[in-house]
Amino acid sequence: MTFAVLAAVLSRLGREDEARAAVTDLLEHAPETTCARYRENLCGRPEAVARLVDALAAAGLPAQAASQGIDHRQDAVRATC
């Protein structure tokens, strides 16, 4: 989740080029990562999750998987509650 947090923070700071680079790094390590996965799998206050996901979307993280065959296995994105 480190690349995601970095991307979100950079996006919120208005450092869009760096935020997009962090999203690129995130997708290189976890190509199945999407905004939908974060929204569905993070624990915490809904408003905090929404702010994180909105910042990731602004940084260029895809909203959902491009293919119809979405992999629903637990992965590094799924938080443990």
Instruction: Give the chain as a DSSP string.
Output: -HHHHHHHHHHHTT-HHHHHHHHHHHHHH-TT--HHHHHHH--S-HHHHHHHHHHHHHTT--SS-SSSS---S--TTSPP-
**Would you say residue 69 has pLDDT above 70?**
no
Instruction: Indicate the pTM of the whole model.
Output: 0.75
Q: Which residue has the tokens 């976890």?
A: 30
Residue 42: band (very low, low, confident or very high) from pLDDT cuts 50, 70, 90: confident
What value does the mean pLDDT take over residues 16-30? 96
**Would you say residue 72 has pLDDT above 80?**
no
Tell which wins on pLDDT, 70 or 14.
Answer: 14
Long-range contacts at 73-76 (CB < 8 A, ≥ 24 apart)? 75/30, 75/32, 76/1, 76/29, 76/30
Tell which wins on pLDDT, 77 or 15.
Answer: 15
